[in-house]
Amino acid sequence: MHKLYDFMEARERVGTVIVKTKLIHSNVFSEEAGNDVYIKPENLQVTGSFKVRGAYNKMSKLTEEEKKKGVIASSAGNHAQGVALAAQKLGIKAVIVMPKHTPLIKVEATKKYGAEVILSGEVYDEAYQKALELQEKEGYVFIHPFNDEDVIEGQGTIALEVLEELPDTDIVMVPLGGGGLISGVAAAAKLKNPQIKIIGVEPEGAASAKASIDKDEVVELKETSTIADGAAVKKIGNIDFDYIKKYVDEIITVSDYELMEAFLLLVEKHKIVAENAGILSIAGLKKLKDKNKKVISILSGGNIDVLTISSMINKGLVVRGRIFKFSVDLPDKPGQLVAVSQILAKENANVIRLDHNQFKNLDRFHEVELQVTVETNGEEHIKKIIESFKKEGYVVKRLNSRETMEE
């Protein structure tokens, strides 16, 4: 376990390669959470995530002999780029093993920093095994993404920056995957100020740290299911488990829907784009029992592809009740579309799409189904629209609530 000066020395080491990310005060998340919320935007790091801190700290501490051997890592994303950049800065050969189906954009980003990329295995675990084989065969130094004291030490530098900028911080919210980030942040923050509360935020479908703490031993999940792929870890590190037990006050979990909602607000209100695992701590803000505290949410990364961004925005709009899709059965006679349009116009709902289907209700010969998609201002607005239709004798069936998305 580290002492405070270890983190301070690490900060000196990583200072030459990282961006010192400044806190961003958030009115919108402060209001939603009932706390004074600040975002620590690690998505603005050179490689798009915090991972470069731990990788560089670890690799800069290698002996000259180890540096000559070169390093190897397995990763499908952020760790790969962190190791590759650190290797480039330190003049070390880096080999990164990535699963075969890693998006090309991530492969190219890693190669851009001069690393040799080997595509192997269908899933991360198979890529990891390949990396271990190559380490054995070629004598490379293995750089683990989270289960490593020097990597943990590098990640802890985030806490020192936060407390320098906002010394009276009450709570730090940290995304939790393998456990490296929260281990470093929790240890450094508590060593600096033991009164600070550290809360980890995990995806509901990959809550390996919560399962481990509940059982008081490292637990391996049978499977993971979450859109936060960067935190979809079946088993946290055993070193990280010890840190979490000692320094972390609470672990909360969030659903994919809560992530979609947080993503939309972050894009819309702050013009910040982040990856799904990166916003775990933002999605967790609503679940804080504490109120009127100074809260830091670490936004851990921003490496997300454009198609996923589009999907997250659309689903976020549905979850927030900003897009309302419904169907209504109409008598098959002229003037019905005009009547529907008038109700929507009166309620200031902006029509995005209309589907008029005469053949949907074959069992009810004299009716047609109209499917309508409108833009709204949220759930209260949707209730008013449904009420207006009811008054005019129409029955509305909602097609895109969170419940229908789950079906």
Is 300 among the residues known to form the active site? yes
Q: For residue 216, give every residue at least 6 positions away whose Cβ sits within 8 Å of its Cβ, in sequence order, or none.
A: none
Cβ neighbour number for residue 184 with a 10 Å cutoff: 32
Question: What is the rounded CA–CA span in Å between residue 106 and residue 80?
Answer: 9
Identify how many contiguous H helices and E strands the chain contains and give both numbers: 18, 14
Q: For residue 351, give every residue at least 6 positions away whose Cβ sits within 8 Å of its Cβ, in sequence order, or none.
A: 341, 344, 372, 373, 374
Catalytic residue among 26, 40, 49, 51: 51
- Both tokens of 384, joined, read 């008013």
Q: What is the DSSP letter of 301?
A: B
Which of 270, 279, 286 has its CA nearest to residue 302? 279
- Both tokens of 359, joined, read 């053949």
Catalytic residue among 130, 300, 315, 325: 300
- Both tokens of 250, joined, read 């609470």
Cβ neighbour number for residue 156 with a 10 Å cutoff: 32
Task: Give DSSP secondary structure letters for 17-68.
Answer: TS--PPPEEEHHHHHHHTSEEEEEEGGGSTTSBTHHHHHHHHHHTS-HHHHH
- Both tokens of 88, joined, read 């480039």
Angstrom CA distances, 19 to 42, 47, 52, stand at 9, 10, 10
Enumerate the active-site residues: 51, 300
